[in-house]
Amino acid sequence: MSEKRKNFLDLAQWSRQNLDEVLALATELKADPGKFSQSLAGKSLAMIFKKSSTRTRVSFEVGMFQLGGQAIFMSSAHTQVGRGEPLEDTARVLSRYVNGIMIRTYEHAEVEILARYATVPVINGLTDFLHPCQVLTDIFTIKERLGELPAGLKVAYIGDGNNMANSWINAALQFGLDLKIAVPSGYEPDAILLERTRQQARPGGKVTVGDDPLAAARAAQVLNTDVWASMGQEEEAEFRRQAFAGFQINDALLEAAAPEALVLHCLPAHRGEEITAEVFERFQDLIFTQAENRLHVQKALLVTLLAD
């Protein structure tokens, strides 16, 4: 890499050049899955899960295996992490055993604590604040489908101002996107992040937040969304269904979007809520390619962070 990075916690902490290098490596790894097959031989990745997972767990486990290393699954229900051992101590203990740590959890502060006290690279597999592995994968998927990532690409995000929306804001600034976010009033993305965005605006990157899905979708080249109630918000699900009514990717939004617009979904999908079943099935090949690409992008991150 042009600049060696220790951790992957947030897209905003990496330069555009570093991110482009990861995307280029992911392209190589997807084209030749055997490439770097022994680059992590003898190395281990500890994977801490406070949130359950399908894609994050399987893609990281398979990725480590294909690179010659091993992944160690650590559920908070079956380790001292779940019994109150401080993350500071967990970070220092694991650093004596493994070559890297991935965590999927609720509070973003926990990722930052791990990174502060660990002496090995830490990867943010997801927090309630950010989901950088997913959005970097989404950028990879768009670039793969379009053949390039056009400057000023018009992207619409429809739904909840959650970790995905926050990560798309960072991606818009890093990759020079024209991002329009449509959320119900009271569900906006993180206010501190939006203020930082205003203060640190970069050439080409533009972020607009509103409450009109049709306006956000107009001329958009990419439409994307996420579930209305994320993990940990199950008790709010019914209330959120009412609050988010109308914030759905459907035929009306597609008609307003640019011709040949792409539709992305980070999964799992609740058909009939954030996206109609018809639109989901129309774009299912792209959506499941997007899911597959988690493997290739995360392998590129693992090689970048852990290989000698």
Give the residue numbers annotated as catalytic, written as ranges.
104, 131, 134, 226, 266, 294
CA–CA distances in Å: residue 33 to residues 47, 67, 143, 147, 231: 22, 9, 19, 20, 32
- Measured from the Cβ of residue 307, the count of other Cβ atoms closer than 10 Å reads 14
CA–CA gap between residue 118 and residue 116 (Å, rounded): 6
For the purposes of burial, counting CB atoms within 10 Å of the CB of 13, is it exposed (0-12), middle (13-18) or buried (19 or more)?
Answer: middle
CA proximity to 54, closest of 269, 282, 234: 269
State both tokens at 27. Answer: 């392209």
- Measured from the Cβ of residue 30, the count of other Cβ atoms closer than 10 Å reads 18
Task: Determine contact, residues 137/84, Cβ cutoff 8 Å.
Answer: no
The residue type of 82 is G
Sign of torsion over alpha carbons 282, 283, 287, 290: positive
CA–CA gap between residue 160 and residue 165 (Å, rounded): 7
